[in-house]
Structure 1
């Protein structure tokens, strides 16, 4: 099979051995794969896959099941999307059948390809780890990103007013169209976020750059969920304020979680989120589609921080 790998910063669509399909697994003929910031980091050598995971890029995909391992409930021909630790940007991928969900009714395979990673990330960190309750207030940094787009929609669906920080007025308008109450631009001071504080939860992919302000913006017994380090990994923090407010600081990654944990998470998504995608209350927010032959342009587009929502790579144009 052909697959996409990042070697010393370069992308190569090259021949690789197809993986074996073990009991409990399924083989998917990939129609499209979602492109995420983690793929940019892995390509650059900053985010290697967990031990034992393929170095083929791609943390989510959609397609048609072509082989079913013993013990799986799936059938050949099922249209599905999958959460992956790697390997989605390939003609075929093999994955634990418990990490696979049906394509929500009404969505194409291209749209389904950009759902699993961001909705799993948003649900995990807002509602499982963050334990959000109705009416609690949320601040989402990088609100127009793929994860941010999913998080805004989930907050609206589950009665959690949310605010965002974004990079432009256009992206702020985009976030407000999805349901955000408002927000601020990164080019301006973020101090105006104080007007909306205190927040019960901050979903933070930035890290050190916003750390001191985040702590000031959080209320008592609030949750601060760290999911990235785009703004650096080292900074100063007033731990006295952290203690006084009883803030729960949570570090979270999805990719390295074990198979059983991911299976439970996907089961929650099927129950809580998938019906809302099928009804149209939630949207994949697929903004740009690139053929695999234009993979460099796709990576450059995501890296430019000008896309609101998601980018997909089409692997097999015959599958829609």
Structure 2
């Protein structure tokens, strides 16, 4: 992680869907905790959550899962989003950061967070002020490293001028490649780790969602532009191409999609989300797969998806 930081598995575990956004009424804490434990057993030790997931309940769940196992997990959480009455709002005020880190530590049942990430930059607060407050958490021993999520290269540079950046989160998958143009090359040069979230295209690249009817009720993806019926139909060839490669190799489609993401750089860590120990096993098996030049060329040539990212 970062320059000379702790080593982590190249596949980690995103925990958002355990209690938030994806099928929130299908929550199963027992299965989720089992998934976290299986991830640790397999070396997928970067466990990623955020204070806004739930809100707050996801951190509590992760804290329970890591009780007695804290030294085996690289714990990453985020700050900067607050759940309002009807929608999320950004809050990068220094006073919010100072209060939020203590609340996260309590919910997670730990005295140190491995990676504390700014979920989104608040346009109403200078990034230098937000990042300065986050740097205070490192000096206080509450946090070991700092990260940013969904940012530009210029924003990373601004943060670096205040305090080192350990990691940057970006959505990277076969249907979201924006970060590959500037951000991924820049972070490689700067020895900053990239955490690729939604590396399976929010589940679409697994091939399990042929239509919106396959999504659970109240699932966030029902309002995501790319999952609307017309766009979903137009995007189906992307999932079919992944399945074609997977079938030819005798592996699962998620493994093909993940290994393509991992091939974007040695500093890239994929954090697919799941609450199933079975899918944790399937996802981590991607580490054993290498694409051929022909397979890589086929996947690289896939067209951009239909519909906005969010």
TM-score over 0.5 for the pair = no
**What is the TM-score of this pair, normalised by structure 2?**
0.29
**What is the TM-score of this pair, normalised by structure 1?**
0.28
Structure with the higher fraction of residues in helix conformation: 2
Structure with the higher fraction of residues in strand conformation: 1
